[in-house]
A and B are shown apart, each in its own frame.
Chain A
């Protein structure tokens, strides 16, 4: 292991190897608790509201579907690793994760960790928690990702060996996703949560509330800080903001950019904007005409007025994108790709080349894909100027993903932030991926993807991912105008809040970090 990539604890903590976001300036590493110089206070009760709560709520991490689920799972469970504020994976229940070939990984478990029922954490729990994702009956959201886990076996009570089907340097980052949180060996019934996390589940009522009380035996010394956390879901955005401003809840996510001014103007309330790789994209199916015509694809990409979309749709709570899914703040972002401008003349040229002037094309947009209805209207307006007749079909959110998404030549998609470049590309851009949204087939891209996945050298990796960005930018039938920031609102008495760029609510991990200064 001496000459291979060794993700020892020290390196994980110190340099952020793995795959996450590196700090822009070489050695700049923020200390973990730099959110406030203040000493954390103990006690208090807080109420947090996320966007949804329904009978589909679950305590099974594998089934986690939405921000409420992710947040709930992070209250009660821990993962082998977790993300820091730069999205580097850090050791959590794993003391170290080491590998020499990116295929066989040795995970040493932290000792003295207890589940809420008092049983100690052992390798059997980890094996069970990881392998259950591969069983169809689990209905895991991570089934396709877990397919690359070939084998997990115990090497003693406090050590497991994970063997992958192919080299993947990103394993520590993959395991930090909330779906891979560790449950107790043999758990089938998820009516209550038995994890190792900072809170114990005292009440779980799907569609109503989740309540957690401080776990006094938490293995992280001195944590957590708050006595009790209640997690609810308020689907209506106006009601959610009102609940925050009237003091009924103390932290909310998915704030509309239009509501930010209202929150900021109220005394004692703040807005936290998280730059993450969240985007809504135009999908031009490549196996259908006319969207499969490369000239048509370019015409549409030149038609996006990205600055207008950022300003008018998202009130500047967005970052301009360049038709590939890697955001500018990502360590693997390729800065030397020219930013594609809004250029109606070039769009017109490509449209004429494609022979599509005057053609009427239906385009499907839905509130399910955030901002897509307004983006479609902008495209329609700009299209009309160059002789492209786009007909916007606004369809309801309900059933959009199963009936419209990717099912017509022109639709909109919406992709949540993923922790690694490999996951984004593997899930949405690989030729044989289930959600290869545009259906493009690029063998060169596929080769680069596999090579980059097993590559341990950071510089080489960055170069490979850069080449992939160029391929997507030039050839893929996907137009990405902007990356949308995730906006949270919080009561300023809630301290220790900072963005973690995997999602809102501190990357859904507020429970471990916040304290109440009320």
Chain B
């Protein structure tokens, strides 16, 4: 038994390594393709950075001078290649509009996005697991149906509505929480949590609903299996069945659902960032699009794409490691 297990593990490790390596190669290809597509499509947008900077004061000669100064007068493919070579060397270039290195701008915004996503993930995963497991265990009961209807309704409510109503209640009327999230380095822990409360709540509501429903479905799927019946016949308590028997078997779909929901937290937070005036990556990317700041736009696109690929990869690896059949194949 031990020998078989060991060889299985070795085989599993090998499979995972091969899978990860293959995924990384294809991820790099995907990133390359995405950068090319983003570059081409954003090139199709009307106007360029020089026009956007000058706005109404764009006279032909001022435009020509500024284009030359910003290096926008070189052909597009040359600009793309120089950006690409820079990126491969670890230098994402220089923001045309802000006149700062892109890395400097990103290094300020990325932590903000990660903090928001991280806090939301903690809250959302805990809540989703609780709701999902609880309603799966009480399948068909009144609580289950109530939770079902609530989560379905919350999936359907747009987050700008959730956010605006939350602001009206908690900030304008009750004055408990700030209506905008100001990231200040010298904030105390209390201020920190207070200022994050509303955006985290809003984002969590959106993702909790989705995750909870997927978790419930995955667990119910397992609960119908014969081994659960066997465990029940042996007299194992329901809580123990779910936590030690069902959950490990349901982990693959759950992690998948979580990965999909969490990847949304980074780039999809644009509405929450706008309403709470939160300086995150998503609003930075929208800035980059409206000001036609190509290097910045490209870098943001790369980060979102890479984060998405990474989360999906993690989900797949977890699924393989959790499933002995996949592990040994």
A residues within 8 Å of B by Cβ?
Answer: 49, 54-57, 63, 65, 136-137, 139, 141-144, 205-209, 232-236, 238-239, 242-243, 245-249, 398-399, 401-403, 405, 434-435
Contacts and interface: CB of A to CB of B under 8 A. Distances in A.
Contact of A239 (B95, B105, B274, B288): B274
20 contacts: A54-B97, A55-B98, A55-B287, A56-B52, A136-B65, A136-B66, A142-B57, A144-B57, A144-B59, A205-B108, A206-B100, A206-B105, A208-B279, A232-B277, A239-B276, A243-B180, A247-B175, A398-B289, A399-B45, A402-B51
Listed residue (B51, B56, B61, B183) with the most chain A CB atoms within 10 angstroms of its CB: B56
Contact of B69 (A139, A143, A208, A401): A139
Interface string B274-297: 111101000110011111010010
Given A232-B182, A402-B51, A56 B97 contact: yes
B103 interface: no
B61 A402 contact: no
B46 A399 contact: yes
Contacts of B105: 55, 206
Contacts of B180: 232, 234, 239, 243, 248-249
B171 A136 contact: no
B179 interface: yes
Contacts of A232: 180, 182, 277
Interface in B61-113: 61-62, 65-66, 69, 95, 97-98, 100, 105, 108
Contacts of B57: 141-144
Contact of A236 (B55, B171, B178, B275): B275
Interface in B101-158: 105, 108
Nearest to B276: A239
Given A208-B108, A435-B56, A54 B287 contact: yes
A242 B164 CA distance: 9
B47 A243 contact: no
A65 B290 CA distance: 14
B167 A403 contact: no
A207 B58 contact: no
A403 B53 contact: no
A434 B59 CA distance: 7
A85 to B, nearest CB: 27
A55 B291 contact: yes
A142 B180 CA distance: 35
Contacts of A139: 53-54, 62, 65-66, 69
B222 to A, nearest CB: 44
B21 interface: no
A198 to B, nearest CB: 23
B65 A137 contact: yes
B277 A243 contact: yes
Contacts of A54: 97, 287, 290-291
Given A139-B53, A239-B276, A402-B47, A55 B293 contact: yes
A440 B318 CA distance: 70
A54 B274 CA distance: 12
A434 B167 CA distance: 45
A427 B163 CA distance: 43
B178 A248 contact: yes
A234 B277 contact: yes
B44 to A, nearest CB: 11
Contacts of A242: 164, 167-168, 171-172, 179
Nearest to A399: B46
Nearest 10 A-B pairs (CB), nearest first?
A136-B65, A402-B47, A399-B46, A246-B171, A403-B46, A55-B98, A246-B179, A54-B287, A208-B279, A402-B51
Nearest to B112: A208
B288 to A, nearest CB: 7
Contacts of A141: 54-55, 57
Contacts of A143: 57, 59, 62
Contacts of B279: 205, 207-208
Contacts of B172: 242, 245-246
A239 B167 contact: yes
Contacts of B69: 136-137, 139
Given A136-B66, A401-B55, A402-B47, 10 more contacts: A63-B53, A141-B57, A207-B279, A232-B182, A232-B277, A242-B164, A242-B168, A248-B180, A398-B290, A402-B52
B292 to A, nearest CB: 9
Contacts of B66: 136, 139
Contacts of A136: 61-62, 65-66, 69
B190 to A, nearest CB: 16
A239 B284 contact: no
A245 B175 CA distance: 9
Contacts of A401: 51, 55-56, 58
Nearest to A135: B65
A55 B47 contact: no
Nearest to B289: A398
A67 B283 CA distance: 20
Nearest to B184: A209
A206 B106 CA distance: 12
A278 to B, nearest CB: 14
A402 B164 contact: no
B183 A208 contact: yes
Nearest to B271: A236
Contacts of A206: 98, 100, 105
A63 to B, nearest CB: 8
Contacts of A403: 46-47
Contacts of B56: 401, 405, 435
Contacts of A56: 52-53, 97-98, 287, 291
Contacts of A233: 277
B171 A248 contact: yes
B179 A55 contact: no
B55 A55 contact: no
A253 to B, nearest CB: 15
Contacts of B55: 65, 141, 401
B104 to A, nearest CB: 10
Given A143-B57, A236-B274, A239-B180, A402 B175 contact: no
A402 B58 contact: yes
Nearest to A145: B57
A154 B202 CA distance: 60
A75 to B, nearest CB: 18
A389 to B, nearest CB: 27
A399 B65 CA distance: 20
A434 B55 CA distance: 12
Contacts of B98: 55-57, 206-207
A246 B167 contact: yes
A398 B291 CA distance: 9
